[in-house]
Amino acid sequence: MQYQVKETPSSAICGKEYIQKNAFTGNAISHLRLKYDITQTEEKLSKGIVLTMKRKNHSKQRQIELRQFLVDWVVLDSQPLSTVQSKTFWHFIHELDSAFIMPSQETVKKIIYDAFNYSFSQLKQLLLMNAAFISLTMNL
């Protein structure tokens, strides 16, 4: 059985054809469903089942905003970075917004690192320009 992929002008799918060589098609179906939100329809053709896209992609700016909301949540709620690799978390986010592209753990780290460097630099500038004295205290 051959699985055909129907593309729309706005789709950005990988374009791979999935051909069933044995009874196990779970990996291909899961890949298409989780990564590209392509689901199986009941429409059967002589050569197989047609898979269709049902999502619209976010603009680049909206994707960046959503990714920043995710990073803010990870940082402010002290969530582990590995959260973005969790299959159940991916499924949860996919159900909320199927067009959101989940960033990798490395991307989240880079966003946090870049934000820290920017904020640290800004804080140093602020202290150099405005502070006459600085006191640091610590509770043991």
Token readout for 113 is 């690192």
On whether residue 100 sits in a domain, the answer given is: yes
Let me know whether 74 and 125 are in one domain. yes
Let me know whether 19 and 39 are in one domain. yes
Higher pLDDT, 62 or 50: 62
Please state, as a whole number, how many other Cβ atoms lie within 10 Å of the Cβ of residue 75. Answer: 15
Let me know whether 84 and 24 are in one domain. no
Let me know whether 93 and 112 are in one domain. yes
Q: How many domains does the chain have?
A: 2
85-140 confidence digits (pLDDT tens): 999 999 999 999 989 999 999 999 999 999 999 999 999 999 899 988 888 888 88
pTM of the model: 0.53
Let me know whether 101 and 117 are in one domain. yes
The conformation of residue 40, written as its DSSP 8-state character, comes to E
